[in-house]
Structure 1
Amino acid sequence: MVYIAKVAAAIAAVCFAGSAIAHPGEHHDHSAIKREVKARDQFAAAGKRSLNACSNSLKAREFNSRSVARRAERARSLRERRGITTKAKKYRRDLATLEVYEAVDHNETSLGYTTATPEATIFSANTSCILAPENTDGPYYVTGELIRENVTEGQVGIPLYLEVQYVDINTCLPIEDVYVDIWNCNATGTYSGVESGQAGLDTTFLRGIQKTDAEGVVTFETIFPGHYDGRATHTHLLAHQNVSVLANGTITGGTVPHIGQVFYNEVLRSAVEATYPYNTNTQAVTTNADDMWSIVGAGTTYDPFPEYLYLGDDITDGLMAWIQVGMNTTADQSSSSYYSVAANYEADGGHATTSTTTGGGQGGGQGGNGSAPAS
């Protein structure tokens, strides 16, 4: 029996009181953040209108059907590969009750799903008609990472198989040949590739690049990110188009049409952090509602939470998660204040740029990624 419950978006107040606590070197101007959040939400609303105009076309419906079938096969393949024979579980939110923040129903019998439940119900995407918002890449983005699917490099944590599918907001069809950077902190809140109290410039764990296929899909094998002071738990994504692929297995040039972050609901985060080594992390937890970027403040305009599936009956069996990202292919964020490069990874190792901070106001504490863009 498949057990279903989705992650939840909600309406929450923007929390900007006091100084943000974050990784060393971060600075935050909360007035600038408030302006950027407003601009982001207006951009998201415009994108959603574009998606709504094309979402019922025959090609868009066929595309979504193929996506459902692919995710179902991916889940079966992952379970077989990991030797999991216990029941898979999917968690569901009530999409009609967006006012109730992260209302999660864990009662299998009350949901009424059985092995006969159509895969379209289980493996549909939460964002097929919703634009994922533009968001800062934070102060710890590193260029020159390798093209690879598995980015774990031996990091210990809950296995996370993440599928991201890029959709053109004007056609509702997949976008092929997008090179997608992914990065997040490890189970105890530390980033690779940077200094400022982190793992160091010559480390590359939990970072990598993949190219979208004909269905607009990239998949990464990673671990569920840990938490750190000042930011809600998240994974960074940055999309490139029209790049050149180098002989050393990385990319250069091109445009940056989308910068975003994927977030996870509190119930899932709590379940992960009850396991080792997450439970050794002593940094303060910041909830989604208290994140400086007000990630749950746009109601139904966008949804930054992926759907997810327990591959077995225990979270330590691993997670499969998926999300669709609506993207404007004509945009380019590479010259905007959202785009900030902390370091460049080259043949002889990592090299810090001249500055890894943006905005104003003093930050402090340890761990993190998610500085405000310059005003």
Structure 2
Amino acid sequence: MVQLSKFIAVAAACLAAPAVAHPGEKHDPHVVKRELHARDYAAAAAKRSLAGCENSLHARELAKRNVARRSQKVQNLRKKRGVTAHPQKWRRDLAALEKWEAINHNQTGILNYSPATPESVVFAANTSCILTPTVTDGPYYVWGEVIRQNVKEDLYSDGVDISLEVQYIDINTCRPVPGALVDIWQANATGVYSGISESGNYAADGWDSTYLRGIQQTDTDGVVNFETIFPGHYDDRATHTHLLTHLNATVFPNKTLEVGSGSVAHIGQLFWNEVLRSAVEDTYPYSTNTQSVTSNADDMWSVKQADSAYDPFPEYIYLGEDLDDGLFAWIQIGINATADYTDNSYYSIAAYHDANGGHENSDSTLSGGSGGSAPSGTNGTAPSGSASGSASPSASV
């Protein structure tokens, strides 16, 4: 059984970064520093904007719906998995934060949860309503993934199950952002991304693989849910999950998006605290990952400080007594619905997926930058349909 001490979440701080983000991705550290300062400034401005409406009637009603929805989701997950033990309810413990993290962080409600803690306390926690773009989508973004809630596949998707809820709020109105199409992608337990076959990341099925990638559309409360696993680590990056949000994109009947349609309103990365990561990586197949571990503090895109204005760490609870029962995690993200990062220098499309499988984007250098143009036949053509996944543990280094 995982010990209770492992449930204490740890936020990240410090900018002490190498100039490498993903294998093959390089950025000027001076440019990165400027971008991070701009990100923090935008987060503070967005927080001030939210402050003007967060106590409105519709915002309070939304908060009540959030508690009820999350509670029901956990009940359904526990029933589906046959979990009868009490769920372990914990959020970050301020007293246990390291010295560089002691910055007035997440002071809401009770810090230690017991089975008797009211659901209104547990599920009202949002970490923060701000997650401004974390500068880059990395070199492994693939256009052409399908709309699906469960992004796990039969192969290369083993790990600790997470049901992840992400809610998008317009910072200008404090209202949900419905109809947004949210891309998610991450490395598997051994640190390998699907859909990419390049030095540093050779997926077992190469460009044709699709595991742990997918798209969901936000509902009327701005919510998407993904069934995925806790991501694995790899060289030079802290453990994270990628998110990219499209507004007004065209959806084809085969559940793919038209290339270039709509706007890119948000590019983000969710980080996962070190204590949880350590607990997860004591389990198989994470334990077979031989790549080096990078802490949140040493990640080039990590937070300079985690506070009420910028907090990329989801809240979570264990569905049962240990990790075998899985996790439920949630975060509320404030975005500017009028923003468009399509032409941002860090928006990069590494590959496209269509009826003929995956294709490298010849205009992308896997180093951030222009998304490039889509190869012919990608607009709305059906994906290959393979559900085989693609990164074996032997491909993890």
Question: Shorter-normalised TM-score: what interval?
Answer: 0.7 to 0.9
* CA shift digits 1:172-201 (9 cap, x unpaired): 111100000000000000000111132111
Deviation at 1:31, TM superposition (A): 1.2
Q: Does 1:251 align with 2:257?
A: yes
Per the normalisation by structure 1, the TM-score is 0.88
Identify the residue that residue 7 of structure 1 maps to in structure 2. Answer: 9
CA distance in 2: counterparts of 1:113 and 1:34, whole angstroms: 38
Instruction: Decide whether aligned partners of structure 1 residues 319 and 102 sit closer, same or farther in structure 2, where only a CA change above 3 A counts.
Output: farther
User: Among 209, 226, 233, which residue is 1:227 paired with?
Assistant: 233
Give the match for residue 81 of structure 2.
82
C-alpha deviation, 1:67, in angstroms: 0.3
Deviation at 1:90, TM superposition (A): 2.1
- Structure 2 equivalent of residue 107 of structure 1: none
- 1:243 Cα deviation after fit: 1.1
1:122 partner amino acid = V
Bigger relative contact order (CA 8 A; separation at least 6):
1
Residue aligning to 1:150? 150
Structure 1 residue runs of 5 or longer lacking an equivalent are 104-109, 361-365, 369-375
Q: Secondary structure at the match of 2:168?
A: strand
Residue correspondence of structure 1 range 279-298 to structure 2 within 5 A: 279-298=287-306
In structure 1, C-alpha distance between the alignment counterparts of 2:31 and 2:271, rounded to whole Å: 22
* Mapping 1:296-315, distance limit 5 Å: 296-315=304-323
- Specify which of 158, 164, 170 is matched with residue 162 of structure 1: 164
Decide whether aligned partners of structure 1 residues 288 and 111 sit closer, same or farther in structure 2, where only a CA change above 3 A counts: closer
Indicate conservation of the 8 Å contact 1:68/1:123, yes or no. yes
Change (3 A) 1:168 1:310: same
Contact (CA 8 Å) 2:14, 2:100: kept in 1 or not? no
Shift of 1:112: 6.5
Q: Is the 8 A contact 1:6 1:93 kept in 2?
A: yes
Q: RMSD value over aligned CA atoms?
A: 2.4
1:335 counterpart letter in structure 2: D
Secondary structure, aligned partner of 2:308:
coil
Give CA-to-partner distance per residue, 1:275-315, whole Å, 9 cap, x none.
00000001110000111013252533211000001011011
Corresponding residue for residue 222 of structure 2? 216
| Amino acid of the structure 2 residue aligned with 1:257 | A
SS of residue in 2 equivalent to 1:33: helix
In structure 1, C-alpha distance between the alignment counterparts of 2:96 and 2:282, rounded to whole Å: 28
In the other structure, the counterpart of 2:344 is 336
- Partners of 2:284 and 2:49 lie apart in 1 by 44
Q: Secondary structure at the match of 2:77?
A: helix
Name the CA distance, whole Å, in 1 between partners of 2:329 and 2:112: 22
Deviation at 1:98, TM superposition (A): 6.9
CA contact (8 A) 1:6 1:308 kept: no
| Separation in 2, partners of 1:308, 1:113 | 12
Confirm or deny: 8 A CA contact 2:137 2:242 kept in the other structure: yes
Determine the structure 2 residue equivalent to 1:65: 64
- Corresponding letter in the other structure for 2:76: S
1:358 counterpart (357, 367, 371): 367
Aligned twin of 1:373: none
2:44 maps to what in 1? 45
Structure 1: distance between partners of 2:112 and 2:296: 29
Mapped to 1, the partners of 2:241 and 2:255 lie a distance apart of 22
Are 2:129 and 1:121 equivalent residues in the alignment? no
Paired position in structure 1 for 2:387 = none
2:153/2:212 contact within 8 Å kept: yes
CA deviation after TM superposition for structure 1 residue 161, in Å: 0.6
Cα separation, 1, equivalents of 2:48 and 2:274: 29
- Helix, strand or coil: the match of 2:197? coil
Q: Does 1:322 align with 2:330?
A: yes
How many Å separate the matches in 2 of 1:118 and 1:205? 37
**Are the equivalent residues in 2 in contact too, given 1:9–1:101 (CA < 8 A)?**
no
Deviations 1:57-81 (A, max 9, x none): 1110110110011000000000000
For each residue in 1:142-170, what CA deviation from the matched residue of structure 2 results, as whole angstroms up to 9, or x when unmatched? Answer: 00100000000021100111000000101
Q: Give aligned pairs, total.
A: 351
Which sits farther off after the overlay, 216-225 or 288-297?
288-297
Kindly state the Cα deviation for residue 356 of structure 1 after the two structures are TM-superposed: 3.3
Q: Structure 1 208/298 Cα, relative in aligned 2: closer, same or farther at 3 Å?
A: same
> What TM-score do you get using the length of structure 2 for normalisation?
0.83
Aligned-residue identity in percent: 58
| Structure 2 runs not aligned, ≥5 long | 103-109, 370-394
What is the CA distance between 1:51 and its match in structure 2?
A: 1.0
Paired with 2:21 and 2:127, the residues of 1 have a C-alpha distance of: 31
After superposing the two structures, state which structure 1 stretch, 293-302 or 268-277, moved more. 293-302
Stretch moving more, 290-299 or 46-55: 290-299
| Residue 112 to residue 277, structure 1, CA distance change in 2 (3 Å) | closer
Alignment of 1:91-110 (within 5 A): 91-94=90-93, 100=99
Residue 114 of structure 1: CA displacement? 4.3
